[in-house]
Amino acid sequence: MNKERKWPQERGESVKDYLEKLLTLAFEHGFSDLYFLPKENGYAITGQRLARLESVGTVSNDFARSMLSLMKYWSNLNLAEERRPQLGRFDFAGGFVRVSSVGDFLDRESVVLRLIAGSHQDFQFSSESTWKELLSNQPESGLYLLAGPTGSGKTTMMYELLKHWSEGQVVLTVEDPVEMAQKEFLQLQVNEQAGITYQELIKVALRHRPDILVIGEVRDGQTAEAALQAALSGHLVIATIHANSAELVLERLVDLGLKESLVREALVQSLYMRLEPGSSGELQSSFTRVDWREKRRLYRRLQHPLNKGGDSHDGI
């Protein structure tokens, strides 16, 4: 499959032309990541596509160092720093590229690029009926979380849900960075260097009284607490989180310092995403889910077996 792609060659190309051709081809063929990793006699370049790693080629050390410097220049990173971690981004082909740079124990710099297209295609779902059922079951409020490994399609799934749920609703997103520009939504972007954190933006967002609040990623205790309080105050909060299953989302939030009883009260659904190649090579999404509202109803029936209307106080 890789032989069909005419990747640029170091010989006869300038560093700028090589990198632009490489990125253009990677975007066109749906690659999610490109890896530039030091080896004994040069740099190996590989790419992630359809949940598989493909070899792109190798370049010399000098050519690679010039290319990494160009990426860092485009991303406004420190060109002289080759050991400490650096994060940045630059625009390309209507989308953008996230840049992550760090040196290994031999002080050889490595770079990973995350490619974010300016627009996205609809997923093909392994179970269309399950997807339609999910769309028809929009909660009014509470904490709605999407989990899954990096590159599993959490953000795209989140925007697919919003596309169907946002009509007549005020939607406000807080992201780092904004991955998919949507003119219908008010989108805020985190800037840690300027002191504009998730926590600060969530506070501002709630003053705008959105019907749906989107948080790009729940990554620490403060963000988790802010998301929880927003959900408990009557907002529908949709966010992504790193957890190993839909069921373990609860445990992950408790690990971040939240009180389990409050998390159980706020959670409405959690999904665990997987993105895999279908039979003809197209991306296909599947997911497992936990409906925490059903768990609460069952618990209340067990606690009060004679109360026939035990689920009438769910409030969702």
CA atoms 235, 238, 242, 246: torsion sign: positive
pLDDT tens-digit map of 11-49: 889 999 999 999 999 998 888 899 999 999 999 999 998
CATH code of 2-116, in short, is: 3.30.450.90
End-to-end CA distance of the chain: 49
Taking the domains of the chain in order of start, what are their residue ranges? 2-116, 124-303
What is the average pLDDT value for the chain, to the nearest integer? 87
Residue 252 is classified by DSSP as: H
Cα torsion 113, 189, 183, 95 to 10°: value is: -10
Stretch 177-201: mean pLDDT, rounded? 85
Fold of 124-303: Rossmann fold (3.40.50)
| Residue found under tokens 């999904």 | 271
Which residue in 279, 238, 271, 288 sits closest to 124, CA to CA?
A: 279
Strand 171-175 versus strand 283-291 pairing type: unpaired
Stretch 140-169: mean pLDDT, rounded? 89
Instruction: Determine the pLDDT at residue 178.
Output: 82
Compute the distance between CA of residue 73 and CA of residue 79 in angstroms, rounded to an integer. Answer: 7
Strand 52-59 versus strand 42-49 pairing type: antiparallel
The more confident residue out of 176 and 150 is 176
pLDDT of 238 above 90: yes
> Confidence band (pLDDT; 50, 70, 90) for 225?
very high
Compute the distance between CA of residue 269 and CA of residue 289 in angstroms, rounded to an integer. Answer: 7
